[in-house]
Structure 1
Amino acid sequence: MRTNIFHIVFIFSCVLGTFTPALAQDGKAKNIQLNAEKQNNITQKPLPKVPQDSIPVTDTIPVKKNAPLDAIVKKSAKDYEKVNLKKSELTLYNEAHLIYKDIDLTAGIIVFNFDKDEVYAGRIKDSLGNYTQRPVFKQGQNIVEPDSIRFNTKTKKALVWNSRTTQQDFKIKAEVSKRVNDSVYYMQKARLTTSEDIDNPEYYFNIQKVKFVPGEKVVAGVTNMVIADVPTPLGLPFGYFPITSNAVSGFIIPSFGDTNNRGYFIQNGGYYFAINDHVDLTVLGDYYTNGSWATRFESSYGKRYRYNGRVNIRFENIILGERGFPDYSKTRNYNIQWSHAQDQKANPYSKFSASVNMGSSQYFRNSLNMANIGASLNNTLSSSINYNKRFTTVPEVNLSITATHSQNTNTKRIDMTLPTVQASVDRIYPFAKRDESKRGIIKNINLQYNFNAQNKYTTSDSLFFSPTMFKDQGKTGFSHNIPLSTNFKIFKHFSVSASANYNEVWQLNTIRKYYDSQSNKVVDENINGFEAYRTYNLNTSIGTTFYGTFNFGKEKRIQAIRHTVRPSISYMYTPSFEQYYDTYALDASGTNYGDYTKFQGGLYGVPSLNQASNVGINIGNSFEAKVRDDEKGESKKVMLLNSLNIQTTYNLAADSLKLAPLRIVGGTALFNNKLNVNFGTTLDPYAIDNAGRRIDKWNIDNGGSLFRMTSANLTLGYSLSSRDLKADGKENLENLNAANGGRPDDLFGRAIDMADQRKSLFNKQSEENTSELYNLDIPWDIQFAYSLTYANTNRESRIVTNSLMVNGNLDITPRWKVGASTGYDFANKGVTFTQLRFERDLLSWRMSFNWVPIGFNSSWGFFIGIKSGALSDIKWDKRSLPEQRLR
């Protein structure tokens, strides 16, 4: 009996060894598939025949038939994989990995019981006795990282100890979790936070009992907020936290505060509409106890690989003072912004884009909900809506339809085109074959056709889009232009170009001038009807390029300086088109008459009355140096002066003042393109009389110098940082300054959107050093802008502008940032707009303080709140708004 039992056990072990590598020590992960067929084969395979004992062998323990597995099992482990058929268990140890159905499980140890359909996973101890290899349980989109887990593969029920799971912005950790099914979890003593470190969060919500539905909601019992492991008195008897991968409509909690001249306010409250996957809508509103109110509509839309855009509509009704008192004022402001961009992959032959910024001229200066000094100091609002279509014909035709808007916020003048239509036909070479080289005077002759049509309105802020604007203030015109040109070389080094331009203009609005004896003034009468004029001009130019090099020797630091000169002489002839001119009486005497054309005030100018025969001279210069690099032992080129252009014209057909003022402009970039320098000046060779009028007499013959400087300008821009950031290298994905018509940089301070102060006041920069303190490398950046303008047109000799603006940011620590924007106006002797910015990154929280200490827009604001949009209503916002008066 003992011998038979020994042989039976030995043979059974051999059979088992053929089925699976028991106690494998090779350290390589193996994937073995277990299915129902193989499992049954193991239990039902007959044993080989062995010598029988005289005593029959009987087993008092009945053989238990193992339940078959209904899916493939993939497994691996570093130390060993063991199958116990008696217990129907599979054990994986050290870097264990098990895939069964939709379950993907990794852990230090995994035990899978086939009979009970249960999986256990836990940690293991390392050589120092510390627990490592925490289980990671994945099922579909749900991921749980507990200390240990017991899971039933059929009922889907589970017990989890110290589970960690992430649902969008939320991170949840619970001491004990019970999974009822695929969609419901019950948790005890749970923490809910948006912190990155769920084990040591800077804040969390301590919840005794939780019902968690993945992808839908978290329903909590008694909830208490804990900050830095210190319980706070902030708590709720219950809590509801929505979790969804799709946008969900809901209320937006407003902020509260008070002002000196508008009373208490409720601001930025409203409702978010999740319309569908392609478009949403946010409706926000403000109310002040003195009667002021505001409303805003914000919508984002988009379709992948097609287009995306954003629409903002803002309206404000602002009241200051008390009705019946002298300081009472009431105004209504609005602003409309629309941006639309088409994906390049959408259509290679047509494109639609929009950039709209229009509204009341004083909106950004009196806005209740936005502090944007850059936009308030900007004098122009502009908009453009474009549609472009390219027709792949021979020759190619391009069509463009544009609606534009330009608004001066000081004069309140608005110019709008509805629309502008442009069409052009590509170059045609009538004397050359299609694939032939275009060389020579004749073969290089080419012509084009350009068409332009405009419907333009000029109005004021108060009449914008009123019936009066469309009735009396519109102009319509059409322009046809055919340029004929050619170019060639002579004497190998001289480039010659010649062209003739034919232009025909159609107008539907003309004028008639006459003297009205009853009103005793000249009257301009508007006449509607079709009129046309035709003009032409001739142009030719010749130019070349030559170089001059000054060598100083290879042993010198500056080895050579190279001067590049590009001179050119041009000639333009425009005849007199006096046939389009009439005369009108200037007064009742009948002896004083003036010339006018009925096309005055048109969209495309007027035909020339006087013949022009202009000779133009232009000399372009650039300077670069060859400098020895001591570190590399090589020479490198350094640009000294990018451009220095000198230009003037001489009118051969003029009776006097034939020479135009000399214009000199130049620019360069120094110190590795950190310092941008641009300058210009105008030099007039003629003298002026006592009244300031130019006279036909050289200035040097009038007791002056050869040239009289009438104007000069100088601008400097300097950008420097610890990371060698360029001024245009900043992250500017959603710059409020530029989006609302201001400067893209911070020289006029940072724009502050009261509706969402979770956005940083600083540019995002990569932070490699995440320690609490910097060593020697403290990130910083600084920008300077200097502007100087000189005017001496009438011997006034005055400085028009002389200002310096500075903006700087400094990272004191990886979490502390400070910044300032200020400047000084030397002409008016005063400090320009000044803003101080402070920000503390509290990991999951953000704290900021901005202060405008002086000036008309003096104000301050403090904000602390959670960065996550899911808990954006948990904040404290306190500020004082600028106490400006309506202008």
Structure 2
Amino acid sequence: MEYKTPFAEPLKEGEVRFWVDPEIGWIEYRVRDDEIYLKTRAELEYEDIYLSADEVNYQTEKKIIEAKVGAELSDAEGTVEGERMTYSFETKKGVLYEGKSEIEKGFYRGKRLKKTGDNEYFGKSGTFTTCEYSQPHYHFWSPKVKIYTRDKVIAKPVVMFIHKVPVLALPYYILSLRRERHSGFLQPYFRYNPGDYLVINTGYYWAINDFSDATFMLDYNSRRGWGQRVNIAYLYGSKSGVNSVHLAHYRDRETNIEWWKVHTSHRQDISDDTTLLTRLDLRNDTAFDRYFSEEFEIRTQQDLSSFATLTTHKGRFSFITEVSHTTSLLQEGAGAPDNELVKRSKPSTSDILPRISLSGPRIPLFGSSFYVNWGLSGINSYKERELTARFVETTGAVSLPFKIKYLRVEPSVRGEAQFHYIDKYGDYSRLFTTYSLSNSMSTKIYGIFHPLGRELRHIITPSLSYSYSPPYDSSWMLSGGTKKESPTSRFGFNLNNAFAVMGEDDSEGLRFMDINNSISYDTVERRFSNLTSSVELSPNFSSMFWLSSRLSMSHDVYDWVIENVSLNTEFEFRSRRRLA
């Protein structure tokens, strides 16, 4: 436990130090009684123990303190607070009255809290809650509570209260405080909407081994009824991530409708060059997530996708085979949220059986400075189990990058061709072709400065680009074509400022900030686009922590008003544990 102390010098062995604010407090030495009386926010320190209170009476021979009014005791086990406290520095035992403590995952309050030994407390008439409000929405009360810090809390019997109303009683309850991964019952989660409904989630976590675990959840909603969930995570099959299985089942007692959900994600490394990635996402009704999930992103997703993708790499070539099934969640009448009657309907579905693609690397043409990259794919798609499109697509690009002193120039030509065996009109053997031209120029300007004794590198990268593509008509494609009646002709400008901390053996340095601005001009419409700006901070100077924060803005350059602002922050803690 870390705390602030007014003492600058380290403690000597067996020494007790005390302090009061000299402007408002005082110290009274009672020599005959071997006591020291401290008044007005007194502070004492002994070994790893720190105590503060408004009034403290310290018995010097017995090393016993009596603290009153706002007593707070901190040591390696944590911090406890109370109105009155008696504590022995030598035995490290004591009694706290009207005490409270923030223990792992929640808050404990008790009329009497007794420290009976190292890492042990005994509470009388105490309450526990995870609610942070001074008047919690719910709490557990028990006449007897045993707390083993960093291990567990044992209470018996236990009564659960919603506000001041008792709703549930148990003969005993054990709450784990252990931080390491272990099997055990999970702490219940409660959510109460006044005048509406109560949600209770509880379950059991099973640490099967170092490579897998399972969580069994039981959900209760006072309006809808009971539900069950199972989450399984495992590291078998791949070294690249965690595979998972999620099952859920509910029965809505308002509508007497049964709901279920299956979601699996698995990556199988067949060999060093071949990987199979599968995902199964099934619901018995498309309104399942909208009706039951509490996460906004899941409630608002627009489709469900199940697929199997086999990827093979041979050298720099890639061969991909994929089959997929997609269910639209936008079907009107597929369900209703909250307490409205759910109306079921047949969802819209589409399938790809299969998609086969082959792509090659960017390679020099005949050993020259011309570079070529290409791709070839074949697609067989269905909608509502009827064949909708069958075509072969090929793409290719040729580029000629070169330098003029400090300026890098890269012109390129890209072509695309699709041969359709069937279109939405039932016609066969139809060919679609298009192309695009582009050119880009960029350079880099380097600068070095030394603020606060550190060497920082500033990299300025301005770039100018131009792109052109002709009009085309692909509206006849059943897979979703468009008709473009006018060409696209656009200039683009981008300016990037990057900042990096230089290391002794790192020529590029550690990049911690990027400032980017970009805008384009359409020569056909004769209009500038919005000016987009972004600032990204990634001060990742430790291998255990990863932080990235990005602020993006979009300005209308004609009215000079901000049309869009977004802030995205991501944080990751990396540990050496095998299974998170």
TM-score, normalising length: structure 1: 0.35
User: Higher strand proportion, which one?
Assistant: 2
User: Higher helix proportion, which one?
Assistant: 1
TM-score, normalising length: structure 2: 0.50
Whose Rg is larger? 1
